[in-house]
Structure formats: C-alpha cells, structure tokens
Amino acid sequence: MRGDEDWSVEVATVVAPHFDDAVLSVAQVLLRTRATIVTVCGGAPAPGVVSEWDLACGYTDGVAAAADRAGEDLKANSISGAASVHLGLTNAPYRDTFPVRAVALDIARAMLLEGPLWIPLGIGNHPDHIGTREAVLTLPGVADRLRFYADCPDACAFGWYARDADRAENHRWQPHLDRLGPLRMHEVFLTDEQLRLKLEMVASHASQMRGLLPAFPDLLDPLGPLRREVYWTKPPSH
C-alpha cells in the first residue's frame, strides 16, 4: 500500500451517495479503521414507480429495490465491521433536486465528531455524488478532516492511468480537482487479502452488480481495477 494516511487514527466517517459507493471506492478505510458509513440516498421512493436503473437491475418496483439494497449494505458492512447509517433521501431518478441544506444537516448529525471525513470527488457527474460532496462542503470546521475519494467505477472506466482528455467528458477528473484545489493525490494498492475482502463486500451488493457488470465486466475480477484506490487531501490550513 502507498499513501500518507495516518492509520493510527482509529475511526473514520465515509459519506456515500449510494449503498455500494463506500465498498467500491474506499475499502482501505473500511478494513483499517472503525468506520461509520453514512449513506445519503438510503430512502425508498413512493410505491408503484420504478427508475430505469432499477429496471436494469431486475426490479419492477423501486420500493423493493431500496429494501433489498439496504439489506445488502448491512451484509457487506458486516464483513468489515463498519457501522451503517441510512439517511432518507431517494435516488436521483425519484426526485428533481438535491436538497443540499437538509442533507448537510442530516450528515452533521450522523457523522463521527473525530477522524477523517471521506467524501466523493464527484467523478461521473452523478447528481447524487455532486450533491453529497457539496452538502459536506457547507459544514463548518471540517476542512482539515476531508478526504476526497475517486468515485469507482466511474473513476477507472477508461483505465486508472488514462489522460483526462481521453476520458468521456462526464468521467474527467480535472474539473472536480479545479473546483476543489489545490489538492494532493494519494494512491493505495490493496494487499491480496484486502482485495479478497473488498471483492466479497462488493459482490454482496448483488442487485447493484446486476446493473454494473454489463458495463464493467471485470469489476469482480481480482485482476480488474479495484485493487487500486485513489484519494486527495487538502493542504493543512495554518
């Protein structure tokens, strides 16, 4: 493993837009600290509606999809021992706007008062990822705790080492780095055992995998992209 994170810090909060984002992007944190995962879009839509994403995952009702994913999240997090907090916002297809202020207040109530605060960089431009990031950025007194993680699998959709110009516009890193900079990049390579546990956690999100694997067929392959994790930190304030 590489990176300069101080792993003597025993606790951390990971703020995840969706149930599978933490295990896909920051398994290192879940396996090395006593982490609390705050999932922002942990709510269920109104009965009788279903999004295109949920249809692609094999559902005909969004309520059933939300219930299954909450259970999958608990199963996945039991592998690392991470605590799970599910906030009540629905996924983007089930709402028109992201209530930044209300979500910020909910995150503030749920997050730990010490330790690093891990949030998505926003790669992929998904409104739930951007909204989650922006909600945390409104919180006072957290700047020195922030770690911005590369949103997987969007971050590695064109390969980890692709030039940004060669990535699709929605998958480029630089616009988000420009929004937040200056930032310092860190990379982590999981050990074989850490990777095994990560893939087990990811596979526990079975309903999400039904939607993701057609687009990312090597996602659960030990030789695939998930051994590497990338994050950024802000220079310390003085």
In terms of pLDDT, which residue wins out, 85 or 5? Answer: 85
Give the angle subtended at the CA of 174 by the CAs of 91 and 31, to the nearest 5°.
60
219, pLDDT greater than 80? yes
Q: What is the pLDDT of residue 200?
A: 98
3, pLDDT greater than 60? no
Q: What is the pLDDT of residue 181?
A: 84
Q: What is the pLDDT of residue 86?
A: 98
Give the angle subtended at the CA of 150 by the CAs of 158 and 89, to the nearest 5°.
115
Q: How far is CA 44 from the centre of its chain?
A: 19
DSSP assignment letter at 90:
P
DSSP assignment letter at 43:
-
Sheet holding 146-149, edge to edge: 83-86, 34-39, 11-16, 117-120, 146-149, 228-233, 184-189
pLDDT per position as a tens digit, 93-129: 999 999 999 999 999 999 999 999 999 999 999 999 9
Mean pLDDT value across the chain? 95
Q: Residues with Cβ < 8 Å from 134, sequence gap 6 or more? A: 98, 100
pLDDT per position as a tens digit, 137-177: 999 999 999 999 999 999 999 999 999 999 999 999 999 99
Q: What is the pLDDT of residue 85?
A: 98
132, pLDDT greater than 60? yes
pLDDT band at 237 (very low <50, low <70, confident <90, very high): low
1, pLDDT greater than 70? no
